[in-house]
Amino acid sequence: MSLIEEAAAVRHNAHAPYSGFKVGAALRSVEGRVHLGCNVENVAYPEGTCAEAGAIAAMVAAGDRRIAEIAVIADSPAPVPPCGGCRQKLAEFAAGDVVVTMATTAGATLRLTVADLLPGAFDAGFMANAEKGTP
């Protein structure tokens, strides 16, 4: 099954009673394992979880740490890119020039790299001079 197909299947498990906007994500780690996530809404909207964040959490829980590729799908007129927070999460775990395939349930797709989605990403290199453990 392709990553888009995996994302489409897990999308049906999304918990979206408030918006009705279900999103599925499937990522493949550099180890070759597929990890899935779907959005989980909460009545307090900021407390919900995006599909991409859920897939990353599943990857980390399984012991993998690097994303090789990811696909995201939603029922939308155009492919939906990850939100800003998820772009930063993807950048944290992306291995090299990771491709993000965004798709609609109607079959439209858009492929961009994580770097295209988040130019100038904040990374650990910016913290090289940080004092650690100092109050």
pLDDT tens column, 89-99 = 999 999 779 99
Q: Does the pLDDT at position 103 exceed 90?
A: yes
Specify whether 69 is catalytic.
no
* Whether pTM exceeds 0.95: no
Tokens of 78: 């155009």
Return the half-sphere exposure (C-beta side, CA atoms, 13 A cut-off) of residue 79: 16
Residue-averaged pLDDT of the chain:
95
Q: Is 44 annotated as a binding residue?
A: yes
Report which of 4, 77, 75, 14 is spatially closest to residue 34, judged by C-alpha positions: 4
Q: How confident is the model at residue 105 (pLDDT cuts 50, 70, 90)?
A: very high
Cα(25)–Cα(41) distance, rounded to whole angstroms? Answer: 15
* CA 66 – CA 91 distance, rounded (Å): 10
Does the annotation flag 34 for ligand binding?
no
Over residues 15-25, the pLDDT tens digits come to 999 999 999 99
Q: Is 38 annotated as a binding residue?
A: no
| Catalytic annotation, pick one of 5, 31, 47, 52 | 52
Residue 135: pLDDT band (50, 70, 90) is low
What structural domains and CATH numbers belong to the chain? 3-127 (3.40.140.10)
Task: Find the range with the poorest average confidence among 4-8, 102-106, 127-131.
Answer: 127-131
pLDDT of residue 134: 62
